[in-house]
Amino acid sequence: MAAHLYMDARIAPTRSLSKRGFAWLIGLLIGFNLIIAVFVVAVLRAFPVPIFLGLDVLGVWLAFRASYRGAGQAERVLVCAREVRVLHELGTRSRMVWVSPTAFTRVEVEARDAHEARVRLALSGRRLTIAHALSPQERTAFAAALTLAIDQARAERWSGGGSLEDIA
């Protein structure tokens, strides 16, 4: 019997600057730094300044490279009648970081103020913070949806639902 998924959420960080926008940004930064370098060398005879301007461009490039590398990461939350799973995905690889029976899994929301909220799965003293890539408002909405999915899955569990292995 195939298990019914009550939630299959993939949470991935978004990047506001496309690859094309990044190319434009780096091009403008290099052009601006070249103009300054020519002026500083020609007028002020400050020969070390272009080295620091080049390091500036390198620093921006490295920061964006690290940011784009992080864009390939995602978190996947699966809820069926028998269990709750959380997977961390990096490109085509994924690793399981949480498995717990649906019947005993709790969703905790810790909201300190309007600008900070934390969503956790909890089971017998174990906790896992999830949904890092979402805004605080999105986290509370996600927690409500996750709680609803777990409640619906518990109702099926008592009627004999399947596990995530049955889906594959």
6-35 pLDDT tens trace:
999 999 888 778 889 999 999 999 999 999
Amino acid symbol at 111: A
Strand, helix or coil for residue 133: coil
Amino acid symbol at 112: R
> Domain 7-12+74-166 carries which CATH code?
2.30.29
CA distance to 64, 90, 130, 166, per residue, from 93 (Å): 23, 5, 19, 21
CB within 8 Å of 121: residues ≥ 6 apart: 84, 86, 98, 100, 105, 106, 107, 108, 127, 128, 130
Q: Read off the tokens for 145.
A: 């949806």
Amino acid symbol at 116: E
Could you tell me if 159 and 1 are in contact, meaning their C-beta atoms sit under 8 angstroms apart?
no
For the chain, the domains span 7-12+74-166, 19-70
Chain-centre distance for alpha carbon 40: 42
Looking at residue 95, its pLDDT comes to 92
Strand, helix or coil for residue 132: coil
Angle at 163 between CA 75 and CA 159, to 5 degrees: 125
96-153 pLDDT tens trace:
999 999 999 999 999 877 778 899 999 998 999 999 989 999 999 999 999 999 999 9
Looking at residue 1, its pLDDT comes to 30
Does the structure show a pLDDT above 80 at 166? no
Confidence of residue 168 (pLDDT cuts 50, 70, 90): very low
Whole-model pTM above 0.85? no
β-bridge pairing 93-101 and 106-113:
unpaired
CA distance 115 to 120: 17
